[in-house]
């Protein structure tokens, strides 16, 4: 049963990443009906991420209170309806409102996933389970470019959002029929936020996620636009190429979780296993420095290495809350960590829009993105010398 739930949650995360890719991949078609500048594009992503950040923290609390089963179904229905609503947009403001509502719903997904892992799996298997779930990000993002391109060709961009929303509603119905709450529910009340915010280890995860997800959301939202604007791709060619880095990210999700679990089986401590895997993931990220001057095929390969490292890193960072806290606190800590990551995406996304609209190009952006994971890893080493259960005051 636990691995069945893992696969179902991975499917939900795949739907989530498909839904959030609808706008970036369809942007060229949308711009033919609704003019959108680089700064406005960054504002659309900021609207999603601000709501996502708030709900990531609040959603973690919600999941702790009402449970994984009901909570996951609720957020899936919300974000599916919000995604479908994009198809009704007649201007920039409608798109921004739809994007904000989508972010509110999707913000509850990963806290629910993290809590499920904490409920159903032992410490030895959690990183592997989280790796399978995190691989759902790649499945959704891999499917998105060719599928969205096909829907646009056959029916127009508005149907992209309708189809995506419908798939999410079907998942929610099946989830409620197939899944019961975890057999052993915690009896203690939900964790209060104030004790969590007094914990330096939790703050280290929040700031580390702020840094690393600043780069990730840039890759996630801007890769298709980079291919349109800099490499001269059309929608069909984006569909042909853009899935490749996301496939690499899926391999990274599985590899990071597997590697950490393998180290534990070889006798390494949780602290050593997690940090070796995190360090290896961060070490490959500066390769993105080279992408802007590389030919197309090599650029796609470089993006693939960076996406691999990012999602290996993400699997491990989102496993750490289950290593640091227990019971009802897990969803809340995961929510706070995700809040930090989303806010990193907001801030850096707005910086990217400003840099591009003022003619500086992508070079400085890739230079910044290439160092964020390294800084995040150094912060974890400094603030969390030993990964173990923390005392909440």
- Tens digits of residue pLDDT in 271-289: 999 999 999 999 999 999 9
pLDDT at 183: 55
- Tens digits of residue pLDDT in 341-385: 989 999 998 899 899 988 898 999 999 999 999 999 999 999 999
pLDDT at 283: 96
pLDDT at 132: 80
pLDDT above 90 covers what percent of the chain? 42
**What's the mean pLDDT in 158-181?**
90
Q: Which residue has the higher pLDDT, 362 or 69?
A: 362
Q: How confident is the model at residue 172 (pLDDT cuts 50, 70, 90)?
A: very high
Above 80 in pLDDT, residue 188? Answer: no
Q: In the structure encoding, which two tokens stand for residue 186, read together? A: 């915690």
Above 70 in pLDDT, residue 192? Answer: no
Q: Are 77 and 15 in contact (CB under 8 A)?
A: no
List, in sequence order, every beta strand (DSSP E) within 125-215: none
Of the listed ranges 26-30, 136-140, 299-303, 309-313, the one predicted with least confidence:
136-140
Q: In the structure encoding, which two tokens stand for residue 124, read together? A: 């030895």
φ and ψ at residue 74, rounded to 5 degrees: -65, -45
pLDDT mean across residues, the chain: 86
Q: How confident is the model at residue 54 (pLDDT cuts 50, 70, 90)?
A: confident
**What's the mean pLDDT in 245-274?**
88
Q: In the structure encoding, which two tokens stand for residue 63, read together? A: 């999941």
What residue spans of the chain are helical by DSSP H? 2-31, 38-66, 68-85, 92-106, 109-120, 123-155, 157-178, 193-197, 200-229, 235-241, 243-265, 270-283, 296-317, 320-324, 329-357, 363-369, 372-383
- Domains along the sequence of the chain with CATH: 2-179+189-383 (1.20.1250.20)
**What's the mean pLDDT in 165-170?**
95
Report helix, strand and coil shares of the chain as percent, to nearest 5. Answer: 85, 0, 15
pLDDT at 304: 95
- Tens digits of residue pLDDT in 8-31: 889 999 999 899 889 988 988 999
Q: Which residue has the higher pLDDT, 379 or 293?
A: 379
Of the listed ranges 23-27, 138-142, 242-246, the one predicted with least confidence:
138-142
Residue 294 DSSP symbol: S
Q: Are 57 and 335 in contact (CB under 8 A)?
A: yes
Q: What span, in angstroms and rounded, lies between the C-alpha atoms of 227 and 307?
A: 16
pLDDT at 254: 82
Above 90 in pLDDT, residue 81? Answer: yes
pLDDT above 70 covers what percent of the chain? 94
pLDDT at 136: 79
Q: Are 300 and 282 in contact (CB under 8 A)?
A: no
């Amino acid at each position: 049963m636990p691995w069945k739930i893992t696969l179902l949650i991975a499917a939900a995360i795949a739907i989530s990443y498909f839904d959030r890719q609808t706008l970036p991949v369809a942007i060229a078609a949308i711009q033919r009906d609704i003019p959108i500048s680089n700064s406005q594009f960054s504002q659309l992503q900021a609207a999603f991420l601000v709501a996502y950040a708030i709900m990531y923290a609040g959603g973690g609390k919600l999941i702790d209170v009402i449970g994984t089963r009901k909570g996951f179904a609720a957020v899936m229905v919300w974000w599916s309806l919000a995604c479908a609503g994009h198809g009704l947009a007649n201007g920039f403001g409608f798109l921004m409102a739809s994007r904000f509502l989508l972010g509110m719903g999707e913000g509850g997904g990963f806290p629910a996933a993290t809590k499920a892992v904490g409920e159903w799996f032992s410490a030895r298997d959690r990183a592997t389970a989280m790796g399978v779930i995190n691989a759902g990000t790649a499945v959704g993002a891999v499917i998105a470019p060719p599928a969205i391109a096909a829907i646009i060709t056959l029916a127009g961009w508005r149907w992209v959002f309708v189809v995506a929303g419908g798939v999410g509603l079907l998942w929610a119905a099946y989830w409620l029929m197939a899944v019961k709450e975890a057999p052993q529910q915690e009896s203690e009340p939900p964790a209060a936020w104030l004790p969590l915010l007094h914990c330096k280890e939790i703050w280290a995860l929040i700031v580390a996620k702020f840094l690393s997800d600043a780069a990730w959301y840039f890759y996630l939202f801007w890769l298709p636009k980079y291919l349109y604007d800099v490499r001269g791709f059309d929608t069909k060619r984006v569909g042909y190429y853009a899935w490749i880095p996301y496939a690499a990210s899926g391999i990274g999700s599985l590899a990071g979780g597997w590697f950490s679990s393998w180290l534990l089986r070889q006798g390494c401590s949780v602290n050593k296993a997690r940090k070796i895997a995190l360090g290896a993931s961060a070490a490959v990220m500066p390769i993105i420095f080279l992408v802007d001057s590389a030919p197309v095929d090599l650029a796609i390969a470089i993006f693939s290495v960076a996406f691999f490292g990012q999602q290996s890193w993400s699997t491990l960072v989102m496993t750490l809350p289950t290593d640091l806290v227990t019971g009802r606190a897990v969803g809340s800590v995961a929510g706070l960590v995700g809040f930090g990551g989303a806010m990193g995406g907001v801030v850096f996304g707005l910086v990217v829009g400003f840099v591009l609209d003022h003619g500086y190009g992508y070079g400085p952006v890739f230079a910044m993105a290439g160092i964020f994971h390294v800084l995040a890893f150094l912060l974890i080493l400094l603030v969390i010398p030993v990964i173990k259960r923390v005392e909440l005051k």
